[in-house]
Structure 1
Amino acid sequence: MNRRGFLVGLPLALSACTAQEVWAPQDVVTRAIYRKPGRKYITLYTMKNVDSDNGAHSSLLINASQRVLFDPAGSFEQKVMPERNDVLFGATPRLENFYVSFHARSTYYVVGQSVDVSPEVAEQALNLALVSGPVAQANCARVTSRILRQLPGFENIRQTWGPNRIQEDFAKLPDVTTLEYREDDADDKTLALAEISAILRGE
């Protein structure tokens, strides 16, 4: 992949779009769990259109007692990251980088905003993510903002359907660090997914 830097429509009625439940077995989840010692933090990822800057997707990386990606209504699927209703387990830094790379392409770039939190807040975020899915299509920002605004210190996050609005509110939190991830891959995520899968298989 050619990497530079390292690394919306109207809301749909919930009754009109049902999310598919995914529930990996406990032994698979247990084997995949990844813990990163040190500081606890939350990273908000916002996927944005290169031409319009419109937000297309929101997700969360949560480093708590374990490190997970909450990818509501997302399309990143890997056998090495078992899923339970939009929570992807085993979010090592390498797999997080693949996740970002999967979304960054010629037509979209990714903004990552990170903020340190207490272990208690990180764990609360993890627990909220674990019970928030599966998320219906077009509801990623709605559910992401709902999780964040329940956390102590994140009360300024507005309930919203718009990824850009969450990004704007998150930027107002104290001591936020922000990075942009851009790539010039073709505008076809299936190609990126196939390439990432091949790398993970060791091909």
Structure 2
Amino acid sequence: MRLWLAALCAMTLASGCAVKEDPPVSDEAVSRAAYRHDGPSKLTLFTMISNDTGAGAHTSLMINGSQRVVFDPAGSFRDPGKIVVRDDVVYGMTPQLADVYTRFHARKTYHVQVQEVDVPAETAEQALQLAMSYGEVPDAQCSVSTSRILAKLNGLGTEFQQTWFPKKLAEQFAEVPGVSSRTLYEYDDADRFKALRAYDPDEVAAQVATKDEG
């Protein structure tokens, strides 16, 4: 185990991996971006899996509590002009942005396993607070940071063990009572930023306003 961890650290250093230095985001910007989804309190685990090798590539966790966010540890879903991200938490996770998030990851080279479970409001809020206070996550630590949060939650009906592997974490999440699972495949451009570039928050806001007026 120690040798494996040493090898992982060596690969991380060799590839120049480090904690990302995202631009600072004000409390006001975070507050403005907050979005409360009217669905049930819920946890959604995303596991990105290589279509070529079947290996897990990334883990993230969407939390619907007093607001809906995605804990995207060491993630690359970033565009300061369109989305608000602070300490690896993506705020303002509207249905439109959630759709862009999944399509950002599902492409020719990867598919996304989506596991969802309704949880007590207290559990969702605990997860939200843990994610918001976790801080930026170094590269290669997406699964271990997410598993640490899940291991601290009350009300899941199962005990999580810390793991570095996305698919191992997905296997543990599958043991939560009531969890459902689906898999998203898309075969568009391998450039994952194409979906994000096409996202226009102003256009979405205008469409929502028009719908509300109607």
TM-score (norm 2): 0.83
Higher relative helix content:
2
Please state if 1:160 is matched with 2:160.
no
CA contact (8 A) 1:17 1:137 kept: yes
Please state if 1:126 is matched with 2:128.
yes
CA distance in 2, matches of 1:177, 1:80: 30
Match of 1:104 in 2: 106
Q: Measure how far apart 1:192 and its partner are.
A: 3.2
Identity %: 42
- Any unmatched runs of 5+ in structure 2? 204-214
Please state if 1:31 is matched with 2:28.
no
Match of 1:114 in 2: 116
CA distance in 2, matches of 1:122, 1:23: 26
| Code of the aligned partner of 1:12 | C
Aligned CA-pair RMSD: 2.2
Match of 1:141 in 2: 143
SS of corresponding position for 1:183: coil
What is the number of residues matched between the two proteins? 193
CA contact (8 A) 1:22 1:134 kept: no
Q: Measure how far apart 1:44 and its partner are.
A: 0.3
More divergent stretch after superposition (187-196 vs 71-80): 187-196
Q: Measure how far apart 1:52 and its partner are.
A: 1.9
Match of 1:11 in 2: 8
Match of 1:64 in 2: 65
CA distance in 2, matches of 1:67, 1:194: 22
Match of 1:73 in 2: 74
CA distance in 2, matches of 1:101, 1:120: 30
Match of 1:190 in 2: 193
SS of corresponding position for 2:164: coil
Match of 2:55 in 1: 54
Stretches (4+) displaced over 4 A: 13-16
CA contact (8 A) 1:22 1:85 kept: no
CA contact (8 A) 2:25 2:85 kept: yes
CA distance in 2, matches of 1:159, 1:148: 9
CA contact (8 A) 1:23 1:85 kept: no
Structure showing greater Rg = 2
More divergent stretch after superposition (182-191 vs 49-58): 182-191
Summarize the Cα distance change of 1:154–1:70 in structure 2 as closer, same or farther, 3 Å threshold.
farther
| Code of the aligned partner of 1:113 | Q
Residues 138-190 of structure 1 deviation map (CA, whole Å, 9 limit, x = unaligned): 11011011111111226522201100000001011111111111111122223
CA distance in 1, matches of 2:35, 2:143: 26
More divergent stretch after superposition (153-162 vs 36-45): 153-162
Summarize the Cα distance change of 1:22–1:142 in structure 2 as closer, same or farther, 3 Å threshold.
farther
CA contact (8 A) 2:158 2:175 kept: no
CA contact (8 A) 2:158 2:176 kept: no
SS of corresponding position for 2:19: coil
CA contact (8 A) 1:46 1:111 kept: yes
CA distance in 1, matches of 2:77, 2:153: 26
